[in-house]
Amino acid sequence: MGIGGMEIFVILVVALVIFGPKKLPEMGRSLGKAIREFKSAGSELQDELTKTANEIDKDIDQNIKPPKSS
Protein backbone atom coordinates (compact mmCIF):
# COMPACT_ATOMS: atom_id res chain seq x y z
CA MET A 1 0.00 0.00 0.00
CA GLY A 2 1.80 3.09 -1.23
CA ILE A 3 1.02 6.50 -2.51
CA GLY A 4 0.07 6.45 -6.19
CA GLY A 5 0.46 9.11 -8.82
CA MET A 6 -3.05 10.46 -8.39
CA GLU A 7 -2.62 10.90 -4.63
CA ILE A 8 0.66 12.78 -5.11
CA PHE A 9 -1.00 15.01 -7.72
CA VAL A 10 -3.87 15.84 -5.35
CA ILE A 11 -1.43 16.63 -2.52
CA LEU A 12 0.59 18.93 -4.79
CA VAL A 13 -2.54 20.76 -6.00
CA VAL A 14 -3.79 21.25 -2.43
CA ALA A 15 -0.34 22.51 -1.34
CA LEU A 16 -0.26 24.89 -4.30
CA VAL A 17 -3.69 26.28 -3.41
CA ILE A 18 -2.89 26.65 0.28
CA PHE A 19 0.65 28.06 0.08
CA GLY A 20 0.72 29.67 -3.36
CA PRO A 21 3.25 29.40 -6.17
CA LYS A 22 5.86 31.63 -4.49
CA LYS A 23 6.09 29.67 -1.23
CA LEU A 24 6.03 26.16 -2.73
CA PRO A 25 9.63 26.10 -4.12
CA GLU A 26 10.96 27.51 -0.84
CA MET A 27 9.12 24.83 1.12
CA GLY A 28 10.44 22.15 -1.24
CA ARG A 29 14.02 23.31 -0.68
CA SER A 30 13.51 23.35 3.07
CA LEU A 31 12.06 19.85 3.01
CA GLY A 32 14.92 18.58 0.83
CA LYS A 33 17.49 20.11 3.18
CA ALA A 34 15.81 18.57 6.21
CA ILE A 35 15.74 15.13 4.57
CA ARG A 36 19.45 15.39 3.64
CA GLU A 37 20.37 16.39 7.20
CA PHE A 38 18.31 13.53 8.61
CA LYS A 39 20.02 11.02 6.31
CA SER A 40 23.42 12.45 7.19
CA ALA A 41 22.73 12.18 10.92
CA GLY A 42 21.53 8.60 10.46
CA SER A 43 24.66 7.73 8.50
CA GLU A 44 26.90 9.29 11.17
CA LEU A 45 25.09 7.36 13.89
CA GLN A 46 25.43 4.10 11.97
CA ASP A 47 29.18 4.74 11.41
CA GLU A 48 29.68 5.46 15.12
CA LEU A 49 27.80 2.30 16.14
CA THR A 50 29.83 0.20 13.69
CA LYS A 51 33.08 1.71 15.01
CA THR A 52 32.09 0.99 18.60
CA ALA A 53 31.04 -2.58 17.78
CA ASN A 54 34.37 -3.19 16.03
CA GLU A 55 36.27 -1.84 19.06
CA ILE A 56 34.30 -4.14 21.37
CA ASP A 57 35.04 -7.13 19.13
CA LYS A 58 38.72 -6.18 19.06
CA ASP A 59 38.85 -5.91 22.88
CA ILE A 60 37.12 -9.28 23.26
CA ASP A 61 39.53 -10.94 20.82
CA GLN A 62 42.53 -9.54 22.72
CA ASN A 63 41.22 -10.78 26.07
CA ILE A 64 40.58 -14.33 24.88
CA LYS A 65 43.68 -16.41 25.43
CA PRO A 66 44.26 -19.81 23.84
CA PRO A 67 44.01 -22.76 26.25
CA LYS A 68 47.25 -24.03 27.75
CA SER A 69 48.37 -27.38 26.40
CA SER A 70 49.15 -30.04 29.00
Give the angle subtended at the CA of 40 by the CAs of 54 and 48, to the nearest 5°. 15
Q: What is the pTM of this model?
A: 0.55
Q: What is the DSSP string of 23-65?
A: HHHHHHHHHHHHHHHHHHHHHHHHHHHHHHHHHHHHHHHHH--
Specify the pLDDT at position 38: 94
What is the structure's pLDDT at 41? 95
More confident residue, 64 or 23: 23
CA–CA distance, 32 with 29 (Å, rounded to integer) = 5
pLDDT grade, residue 25 (50/70/90)? confident
